[in-house]
Structure 1
Amino acid sequence: MIFKIILAEDEPAAQRHLKSIIKKKCLGFEVVGIAEDGLEALEMVEKMNPDLLISDIRMPRMDGMDLVARVKDSQPGIYSIIISGYEEFEYAKEAIKSDVIDYLLKPINIPALISLLEKLHRKLSLREYDDIRRDLILQLSGQITSGTKPVGKLLMAVIRRNGLHSRFTQAIGNKPSKEMIDIFNGVLLPEEKESVWLFEGRDDNEWCLVAQAEKLHYSRFQELVKRLSISLPNCSFYNAVLAIIFPVNKTNTHLTKLYQILREQSILGESRVFFEDSPSTSERLKNTSLDSLFFKKLDFACKNGKADILIQDLKSHFRIWQKDRLPMLKLLIELRHIITHVLQYCPDKCNLEIGLEVELDTAVMDSFNYDDLFDRFIIIFKTSLSHIEPLTPKMGSRESLERITNYITTHIGDDLSVPFLCRIFSISQSYLNKIFHKYMDQSVTEFIRILRIEKSIILMKESSEILLKDLSLMVGYDDASYFSKVFKATKGVSPLKYRELRL
């Protein structure tokens, strides 16, 4: 890392001498300006924003002490070195109280100057590293797109230990633990430590690695990611995904993409390394979903409180998922469908739902393999079943109708076809219509249609500018034109005309 120096010295011979020493012996610095008096030096400092000011004490127009004090007030981040003659020694020592980094006596002792600049280079490098780290935290979180320090293009990787990240934790940029910092430093070469940063990810099982592309070759970065991944403590398996060279203002965009790839392609129990352009696994996932027969058995288990009848079926599905290498996200969705289905039978569904969702996310996040996840899921499954009331309302009673109408009301924007409802509640179509005619004096289709129209009117009242296509989707109609026809058949006018006349 090269840092900029401005020299303030009124003697040409001393100027040349200092500049020559710095150029030949202090490779981490570059003299970018030479001023012959204090005022000229102050103007250069304001224009060039150097990292270091080296100033003689005695100069025309403004002496070195005044110059250093002015620079400290206007740009306190700039370090200064005062050069003085022996007779000014006591005066020069006062510079230390002004936060001048150090002072040198004339004639310049070359080893002393080199030693001082080496010490200062380490201090400046550490400060630069920390400044870039702060910028990167803001860029990773999307708060800014460009930082205060130029870093050029970047390389980035997200490394995850064990299972998926939980949806209920969200943070990025925290300082990693001392153990992880030691592991990180152990895989880096000394010259790499100024251009690679490690951040804790969204929880303590995830890390984000960022490097300057111009200082670290992509193949070496890939090697670092692999070495860091296999060195993770308490790790049963890992997943890592890498982003190719990209501009710094796209940091958050690429991080989001890496998170998506990790979530969609990580496989339970397998250590893998992905790349940002890795092909999706969705095309090879055929017939992995739970079928209608399984849900019929699940309905029976819910109604009769017999979780054990499904244990073997669940075990068989877990084996199929493992054989097919089902990504963990898809696996989580399938398990969530089971718990959501069970909750339809629970009277205290609203209070139970979040707690069980968190337990399920945690199980997938913490499991080491399929057997481990199976054992954890069975506990959650049995817990959800235990909250079902022991006496299920007799089918055909008003209580059973209320269960159906409650479901329709809370899922008005979803698929509410008669075959779907019959499958959910394990009854025939003729029987479903029979209980609706008995207690509601209308068919289930009529009930849904009227409920959807009334809901659309409420939505139009809440938002006068809602688009027709959005409104129709929100009440369960994929075709806005068909929704408009149904609305007009029910209310006598189209939705747009109704809003114009009534709202």
Structure 2
Amino acid sequence: MYRVFLADDEPWILISLKNLIDWGECGFVICGEATDGIKAWERIVRTKPDLIISDIKMPGMDGIELIKKVREEKLRTEVAIISGYSDFEYARAGLKYGCTDYLIKPVDEEELVGCLEKVKEKLDGSLTAVPEVEKEEEGYRSEGRLLKEILLYIQENYRTVTQQQLADEFSLSVSSVSQMIKRRTGKSYSDHLLEIRISKAQELLRLTNESIEEISEKVGYSDYFYFLKVFKKATGISPSAFRRSLS
């Protein structure tokens, strides 16, 4: 059963709406009602209806303001507005805020049932979409766990690791590995690996007396001069200048 909230400043209209049809047969149950906009809003927040049927003109907060409030707060609820013929232009403002339907006073049985059928079809559709959203979220979380494993593998094997090695280790394509790292960290694979290697090189420069050439090999650079180039580009100074700055 979907939950419906009724709002109208004329109590006799509320009574008429409640007695006009068999709500349960239409797939709805009335979860609350109010005779002014402020009370309606307070009760809507508490009851969280699937559908609001509201008069366009009410004291405290009119129907348009109520609809705006619903949309601003991103409540997952459909809205149908009730109005007289003379208020049609005013009611148009409600339509632009995504009202599902517009009912003319006095509301008749056929019109109300038609409105509920339209809303129910929409709500049924949104329910079938939920599992897809959940699948996407679970996929995103699974990718997050996989990425942590990939980054840990890079951290532990930074001296020799290659993208092909990662792809083989995690049964992915090279492009999938590259895209995942970029999508989730904002950095390319090569930038991420460079950061780790330079950080390790700085650590060795700070904590050991090993030569810069030895450190170059230890962090994965067999070409000493290439190491000097990438270190300076990444830090702004040479390895020897970095070591001198520590003393």
Structure 2 length normalisation: TM-score? 0.53
* CA 1:67–1:26: 2 relative to 1, 3 Å: farther
For 1:379-458, what aligned pairs fall within 5 Å after superposition? none
Q: Deviations over 1:270-300 (max 9, x none)?
A: xxxxxxxxxxxxxxxxxxxxxxxxxxxxxxx
1:49, 1:88 → 2: CA distance?
28
Where in structure 2 are the equivalents of 1:60-79 lying within 5 Å?
60-79=59-78
Matched, 1:135 2:141: no
Give the C-alpha shift of residue 128 in structure 1: 1.5
The residue type equivalent to 1:143 in the other structure is R
2:13 counterpart of 1:11:
no
Residue 23 of structure 1 and its aligned partner are, at CA, apart by 3.6
**Could you tell me how far apart the structure 2 residues matched to 1:77 and 1:138 are?**
19
Instruction: Say which SS state the counterpart of residue 26 (structure 2) adopts.
Output: coil
Q: Tell me the alpha carbon deviations over residues 96-115 of structure 1, each in whole angstroms, 9 at most, x when there is no partner.
A: 11211121110102111111
Displacement after TM superposition at 1:20 (Å): 2.6
The equivalent residue for 2:48 is 49
User: Distance between the aligned counterparts of 1:52 and 1:33, measured in 2?
Assistant: 11
In structure 1, the residue matched to 2:156 is: none
Name the SS of the counterpart of 1:122 in structure 2.
helix
Aligned position for 1:86? 85
| Distance in 2 of aligned mates of 1:26 and 1:116 | 14
Q: CA deviation at 1:24?
A: 4.1
Q: Distance in 1 between matches of 2:18 and 2:131?
A: 29
User: Aligned partners of 2:21 and 2:43: how far apart in 1?
Assistant: 19
Report the counterpart of residue 162 of structure 2 in structure 1. none
Q: Say which SS state the counterpart of residue 58 (structure 2) adopts.
A: coil
Deviation, structure 1 residue 136: 4.4
Q: CA deviation at 1:26?
A: 4.8
CA distance in 1, matches of 2:24, 2:114: 10
TM-score, scaled relative to structure 1: 0.27
Q: Structure 1, residues 160-194: CA drift from partner, whole Å, max 9, x if none?
A: xxxxxxxxxx9xxxxxxxxxxxxxxxxxxxxxxxx
> Conserved in 1, the CA contact under 8 Å of 2:81 and 2:101?
yes
Question: What secondary structure does 2:76 align onto?
Answer: coil
Partners in 2 of 1:73 and 1:26 — Cα distance?
32
Task: Describe the shift of the 1:102–1:5 C-alpha distance in structure 2 as closer, same or farther (beyond 3 A).
Answer: same
Letter in 1 for 2:141: Q
Residue identity in the other structure for 1:20: N
In the other structure, the counterpart of 1:119 is 118
Show structure 2 runs of 5+ residues with no match.
144-164, 173-247
In structure 2, the CA distance between the partners of 1:110 and 1:25, relative to structure 1 (3 Å rule), is farther
- Aligned-partner Cα distance in 2 for 1:50–1:35: 13
* SS at structure 2 position matched to 1:44: helix
1:59 counterpart SS class: coil
Q: CA deviation at 1:6?
A: 0.9
Q: How does 1:257-268 map to 2 (within 5 A)?
A: none
1:81 touches 1:100 (CA, 8 Å); kept in 2? Answer: yes
Amino acid at match of 1:105: I
- Give the letter for the 2:134 counterpart: D
Which one has the largest radius of gyration?
1
Structure 1 segment 463-502 matched on structure 2, within 5 A: none
Q: Deviations over 1:401-436 (max 9, x none)?
A: xxxxxxxxxxxxxxxxxxxxxxxxxxxxxxxxxxxx
Which residues of 2 match residues 98-497 of structure 1 at below 5 A? 98-139=97-138, 141=139, 143=141
Deviation at 1:49, TM superposition (A): 1.7
Identity, % of aligned positions:
35
Secondary structure of the residue aligned to 1:143 is helix
Partner of 1:58: 57
Contact preservation (8 Å) 1:23, 1:30: no
Q: Give the C-alpha shift of residue 95 in structure 1.
A: 1.4
**Are the aligned partners of 1:26 and 1:118 in contact in 2 as well (CA < 8 Å)?**
no
Indicate conservation of the 8 Å contact 1:26/1:117, yes or no: no
**Structure 1 moving runs of 4+ over 3 Å:** 21-26, 136-139, 141-144
Q: Indicate how the Cα distance of structure 1 residues 125 and 68 shifts in structure 2: closer, same or farther if over 3 A, else same.
A: same
C-alpha spacing 1:118/1:89, structure 2 compared with 1 (3 Å):
same
Q: 2-side partners of 1:132 and 1:38: how far apart?
A: 34
* 2:57 match: secondary structure: coil
CA distance in 2, matches of 1:33, 1:77: 17
The one-letter amino acid paired with 1:120 is V
Distance 1:132 1:45 in 2: 26
**Which structure would you say has the larger RCO, counting Cα contacts within 8 Å and 6 or more residues apart?**
2
Q: Note the alpha carbon deviations across 1:452-478, whole angstroms, 9 max, x for none.
A: xxxxxxxxxxxxxxxxxxxxxxxxxxx
Cα distance in 2 for partners of 1:73, 1:18 equals 27
Check conservation: 2:26, 2:116, Cα contact below 8 A.
no
- Tell me if the contact between 2:26 and 2:113 (Cα under 8 Å) persists in the aligned partners: no
- 1:44 maps to a residue whose letter is R
The whole-number CA distance in structure 2 between the counterparts of 1:24 and 1:49 is 18
Note if 1:33 corresponds to 2:39.
Answer: no
Work out the CA distance in 2 between the residues paired with 1:114 and 1:5. 13
